[in-house]
């Protein structure tokens, strides 16, 4: 039984959350799930409860997941070498079979099960279901002093999003089902493509005109030159931080994904620390948050 002081504390937390619940009821929130939050058992359970609670108070959460480490593990067990170019997995037809098994099968069903065990109703889909994510082959171009024109590198079945048909997703959310999306797209000839999960989450948020895009990472967020987390940024401020080198390396693709989303009508994008228990709820229901918020416009 709760002590009176603890009960009062819980009541205080709930009343503080009320304005946020009212503001975001009925709104779509796309969450990219990955990193430690996807492998640590306590964090996994906390994440599932966060998503289910969001739905129970009237929000429309959509989960998009990655699965790079799990793909790497299975490839290693099958004695298939993992190759990366500019941080992207070279995906042969053989590798693509493994990607589909892991993302569309093992990982996706594990997340669906987690959400259902937490009291939600979740359903897993890949972009091939109903061909709702149409994709085309991504290539990388590299410049070098020896070549007159940039070298075009084919990295196999790695895709970029061409279009998203939102009907399957809205059918699920309209019926109070949490969609769990594996980032696999389908080409014009029915071929499968492995797509970066951040990109899929960002594009999905854009076409659904979501209230929020949330990208879970293994970092505390965007850091300034003093190593402090910066938040509440608008596009011009983000561009300035990129220009002066404050934002660089592995954070750049996530920030560009967040920028693209807010420039396309998403109200805010959040790069949050998935290593913090209940990071999703903390970012939505408190003023402090646990990462970097990028806004379409200053409120």
- In sequence order, what are the residues at sequence separation of 6 or more whose Cβ sits closer than 8 angstroms to the Cβ of residue 122? 63, 111, 112, 115, 116, 177, 178, 179, 180
Alpha-carbon dihedral sign for residues 126, 132, 134, 139: negative
Contact yes or no for 187/136 (Cβ under 8 A) = yes
Tokens of 162: 């061409």
* Domains of the chain by residue range: 26-295
In the chain, what percentage of residues exceed pLDDT 90?
A: 54
Whole-number pLDDT of residue 171: 95
Q: Mean pLDDT in the chain?
A: 88
In the block, tokens 């797209």 appear at 185
Q: What is the mean pLDDT of residues 173-195?
A: 95
Indicate whether 147 pLDDT > 70: no
Instruction: Name the pLDDT band for 146 (thresholds 50, 70, 90).
Output: low
Query: Which region among 106-120, 131-145, 174-188 has the lowest average model confidence (pLDDT)?
Result: 131-145
Enter the pTM of the model: 0.91
Give the model confidence (pLDDT) of 263-282 as tens digits: 999 999 999 999 999 999 88
Task: Return the ∠ at Cα 188 (arms to 85 and 99), rounded to 5°.
Answer: 45
Contact yes or no for 215/270 (Cβ under 8 A) = yes
Contact yes or no for 126/134 (Cβ under 8 A) = no
C-alpha distances in Å from residue 55, one per residue of 1, 177, 199: 27, 9, 23
Q: How many CB atoms lie within 10 A of CB 134?
A: 17
Whole-number pLDDT of residue 236: 86
Whole-number pLDDT of residue 4: 83
Indicate whether 151 pLDDT > 70: no
Q: What's the residue count for the chain?
A: 299
| CATH class name, domain 26-295 | alpha beta
Whole-number pLDDT of residue 172: 96
Q: What is the mean pLDDT of residues 284-292?
A: 79
Q: What is the mean pLDDT of residues 164-183?
A: 96
């Amino acid at each position: 039984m709760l002590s009176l002081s603890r009960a009062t504390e819980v009541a205080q937390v709930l009343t503080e959350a009320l304005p946020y619940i009212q503001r975001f009821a009925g709104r779509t929130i796309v969450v990219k799930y990955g990193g430690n939050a996807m492998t640590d058992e306590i964090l996994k359970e906390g994440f599932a409860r966060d998503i289910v609670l969001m739905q129970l108070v009237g929000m429309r959460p959509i989960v998009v997941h990655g699965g790079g480490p799990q793909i790497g593990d299975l490839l290693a067990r099958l004695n298939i070498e993992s190759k990366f170019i500019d941080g992207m997995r070279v995906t042969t037809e053989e590798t693509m079979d493994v990607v589909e098994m892991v993302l569309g099968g093992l990982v996706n069903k594990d997340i669906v099960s987690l959400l259902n065990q937490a009291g939600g109703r979740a359903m897993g889909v890949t972009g091939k279901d109903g061909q709702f994510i149409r994709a085309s082959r991504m290539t990388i171009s590299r410049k070098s002093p020896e070549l007159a024109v940039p070298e075009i590198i084919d990295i196999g079945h790695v895709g970029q999003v061409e279009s998203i048909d939102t009907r399957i997703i809205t059918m699920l959310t309209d019926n109070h089902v949490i969609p769990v999306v594996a980032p696999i797209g389908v080409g014009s000839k029915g071929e499968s493509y492995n797509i970066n999960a951040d990109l899929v989450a960002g594009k999905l948020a854009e076409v659904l005109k979501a209230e929020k895009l949330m990208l879970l990472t293994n970092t505390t967020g965007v850091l300034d030159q003093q190593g402090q987390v910066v938040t509440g940024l608008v596009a011009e401020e983000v561009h300035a931080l990129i220009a002066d080198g404050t934002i660089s390396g592995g954070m750049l693709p996530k920030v560009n994904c967040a920028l693209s989303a807010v420039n396309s009508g998403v109200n805010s994008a959040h790069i949050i620390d998935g290593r913090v228990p209940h990071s999703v709820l903390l970012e939505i229901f408190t003023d402090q948050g646990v990462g970097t918020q990028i806004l379409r416009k200053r409120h």
